[in-house]
Chain A
Amino acid sequence: MTGLNTIGRSLLRDDQDVLDGASPEAARVSSGAGWLKTVKSIRPGLVLAWFVMAVVVLWALFPQWFTSYNPTVGVARQQLRAPSAEHWLGTDALGRDLLARIIHGAGNSLSGALVAVGVGLLVGTTLGIVAGSARGRIDGAIMRGVDVLLSIPQLLLSLSIVILLGFGIVNAAIAVGITSIASFARLARSEVVRVRASDYVEAAFGSGGTFGRVLLRHILPNSLTSVIAFAALQLGWAILTISTLGFLGYGAPPPTPEWGLLIAEGRNYLARAWWLTTVPGIVVILVVLSANRISQSFGKARP
């Protein structure tokens, strides 16, 4: 019954498929107006998101290109200055230039996010793929473990892990990564199960494929697209969570410039120097939104 219904649906769709066989005239027209189409197809939000990401990556890689101030050593008698031509975003309580601290902090925050996503992606996806392709008891054991991870509030879990591992930006990143293992594992497993049920995987087994070969040739390439899109989404979330840990004092120790820490430090001077919390906050929001937007475009590009 189901088989027949799929045919029915494909027949129903087919009238619209006529468009796919574009006529030669249509093709000629399009090449003439090609550039116009390219311009039209640009989505400003996405371009902006990539721009934000590019700037932040450049900050992380070459902070000296953007600022000449030292991010950790303050200048005497320059404390808590309002934004001016000399210090574009003002200075903090120790006389350090805020812009310099944000720019130098990009490296810490981004690498932390990458480590976090890397841990989640590698461990989580591997667990998910093993669970999804082995099924049976192994599947049950892995997924129940994942359920346990999911049942602990994420912040609590990452705080406990930081306490176990010791303070520091890398440890905070690993802690955040461990909390995202569960969602990666679930997504990867569901994708693998979906792909495994498809006819082409059965056909691959039917033509004499061994388990490992079918996994590498069919299951992995077809299930990883959405995992990659999810990883991009997680990047934004990881920046946010690492900043949270930094804000709570579980991340990078002062005087390291780190976005969460910047917000926490500025909190004491909220009334006198609002820019100390607001600007780093806005930067975090912009980066997270950009990561979300980019991951969304990955998701849409899926076949």
Chain B
Amino acid sequence: MTSAISLRPTATDVADVPVLEVDGLAVAYRGPEGFQRVVHEVSLRVRPGEVVALVGESGSGKTTTAQAVIGLLAENGRLEGGAIRLNGTDVAGWSQKRLDGIRGQKISLIPQDPTSSLNPVKTIGAQVAEVLQIHRQGSRAEIGARVIELLTRVGLSQPELRAKQYPHELSGGMRQRVLIAIAIALRPALIIADEPTSALDVTVQKRILDLIDELRREDGTAVLLVTHDLGVAADRANHIVVLKGGRIQEQGPTAEVLAAPRSEYTRQLLADAPSLGKTRSAARSKPVHIGPRRDAIVVENLVQDFAVGGREVFRALAGVSFTVRRGTTHAIVGESGSGKTTTARSIVGFQKPTAGRILVDGIDVTSLRGENLRRFRKTIQLVYQNPFASLDPRQTIFQIVEEPLLNFDPLPRDDRARKVEAILDRVGLPPAVLTRRPHALSGGQRQRVAIARALVLDPQVLVLDEAVSALDVTVQAQILTLLDELQQALGLTYLFISHDLAVVRQISDTVSVLHNGRLVDGGAVEDVFQRPGSPYTRELIAAIPGGRNLDPRSFR
């Protein structure tokens, strides 16, 4: 064993010797212009049993910092300076081979994406056993026993069965538990958790974070938690490090950072974080009603079956009903598989429901065919979750926004150009983007383009399918503000599909909660939040991160 580090400090100096001390870290990536520094002068320390959260937006250098600590920088990355001390020993200059000796044993990683982080052709048991075999922890039988013990430890039911299963047979939350089992297998002193729950549903996220918390408390392991969600950091960390553009903006004990943020950027982040308890009533005025008080969307007893394999039928929606008043925002909330996207697609007319009725602006969508359906699309538009996939990479922004106009009663070229420019101005994009292609825009800008494309036909109803979930919190806040302004100005009706209850509370007037294709709760947002009608809704609300360490009024 190459490492000579003692990672078991004696009881007396527990609080003094940090497990991890990063000092003046600088990392650069080789790009087309040579090496470019993306992490500047980052210093932080993690003491035993402590959770330190690295918080920042995408591109802030948080993942790069974490990768540098464990020596797993991307191939074009280079450590340019600084020290990484594990229990006092500087490992910054160590070779990969030397690092192999401590990785897994003294320091381990919980990766972000449970789907791609497990080997699909090996059983769960074999993958957990691998780390034990690499570090030669006993005989085959001992390792087998230890694997079962670990799987039990991370709360997997029927561990013997799980060990024999393959990753695709497990749910996302279960896979993340397996990854945690691998990370804690050798009882490391430090675990780096890189966005461990970003790909998971909110209730699963809570359970996984609880598990990490529990393991930390029991084993005294230190955790470096990398997250973009300030709410998660607020709940789980003792110490918060805020990164932006590869530089530390601010760091300190969680309570202090949240109560009295020193940097402008942290204040901004706190104000934008939806999970920190904002409600709609505070964010905006009363909904506007234009014209007669009609219902924009009426859904009655919607049933959707999908054929699975041969004759089996999977019921994705089992009798869902709700109505949305014109000019208001209705949210559909649920976890993946709850049927919320199915509902949205039926309402927009992309699929025919098995049974039930959908009225949009008085028109029965389910009976529309061919040309009538095409005409109907003028009244309702869908904005997709992922602005990277919903814009044609080969078109310019002008072409993208112009396209819907070409599909209906043709306007003269000049009128079209004027209309496109006006709508881009409306969504807050400069005319300079007209000639660019989507890849030259940021995620937020792209989502604005997608909204502009949806609005250019002057629709009555906008269906937003997780339209802000892929965006950073500050960008998310901007888009939500934009949506609000547009609703006020144009009297739009929104159907807002989301898994994020915090965002829903911020933007919508009424809400339907779906669970396994059934409507379990519904009504005005505040009613549902204050007096949830079903245990499932209560669980969802309890799982919103950011509720623990924070009083929302303190930073307003």
**Residue-wise interface mask of B (34-67) relative to A, using a CB-CB cutoff of 8 A (1 in contact, 0 not):** 1010100000000000000000001111111000
Is A19's CB under 8 angstroms from B31's CB?
yes
Q: Mark A78-91, 1 if CB is under 8 A from B, else 0.
A: 00000000000000
**Count of chain B residues with a beta carbon within 8 Å of a chain A beta carbon:** 66
Our count of residue pairs bridging A and B at CB distance below 8 angstroms stands at 148
Q: Which chain B residues border A203 with CB–CB below 8 Å?
A: 382, 384, 390, 450, 453
Query: Are B386 and A23 in contact (CB-based, < 8 A)?
Result: no
Residues of A within 8 A of B198 (CB): 4, 7-8, 11
For window 338-396 of chain B, which residues contact chain A by CB distance below 8 Å?
348, 350, 374-375, 377-378, 381-382, 384-386, 388-395
The answer to whether A9 has its CB under 8 Å from any CB of chain B is yes
Complex Cα spacing A203 to B194, Å: 33
Which chain A residues numbered 189 to 218 have a C-beta less than 8 Å away from chain B? 198-200, 202-210, 213, 217-218
The complex places the Cα of A12 from the Cα of B72 at a distance, in Å, of 13
Partner of B74, one of A9, A16, A27: A16
B337 touches A14 (CB 8 A): no
Contact string against A for B residues 496-524, beta-carbon threshold 8 Å, 1 for contact and 0 otherwise: 00010000000000000000000000000
> By the criterion CB–CB under 8 Å, are B113 and A29 in contact?
no
Give the total of A residues in contact with B, Cβ under 8 Å. Answer: 42
The residues of B that contact A204 with a CB separation of less than 8 Å are: 392, 403
Q: Is the interface of B mostly helix, strand, loop or mixed?
A: loop
> Could you tell me the distance in whole angstroms from the C-beta of B382 to the nearest C-beta in chain A?
5
Q: Once the chains bind, are B374 and A26 in contact (CB under 8 Å)?
A: no
* A207 with B457, Cβ < 8 A, contacts A3-B466, A8-B113, A200-B392 known: yes
Chain A residue nearest in CB terms to B60: A15
- How far, in whole Å, are A22 and B381 apart by their CA atoms in the complex? 36
Which of A1, A198, A205, A213 has the most CB atoms of chain B within a 10 A radius of its CB? A1
The reply to whether B62 and A15 contact each other, CB–CB distance below 8 Å, is yes
Interface residues of A in 245-264 (CB under 8 A from B): none
- CB of B200 closer than 8 Å to a CB of A: yes
Q: Assuming the A-B contacts A17-B59, A208-B408, are A3 and B393 also in contact, with contact meaning beta carbons closer than 8 angstroms in the complex? A: no
- Bound together, the chains give a CA A157 to CA B414 distance in angstroms of 56
From residue 162 to 189 of chain A, which have CB atoms closer than 8 A to chain B?
Answer: none
The CA-CA distance from A280 to B522 in the complex, in Å, is: 79
Name which residue of chain B comes closest to A13, CB basis.
B58
Residues A199 and B36 in contact, CB atoms below 8 Å apart = no
> Which 10 pairs, one residue from A and one from B, show the smallest C-beta to C-beta distance?
A14-B58, A207-B404, A8-B199, A208-B407, A199-B390, A19-B31, A26-B33, A199-B389, A1-B336, A15-B63
Residues of A whose CB lies within 8 Å of any CB of B are 1, 3-12, 14-19, 22-23, 26-27, 29-30, 37, 198-200, 202-210, 213, 217-218, 221-222, 303
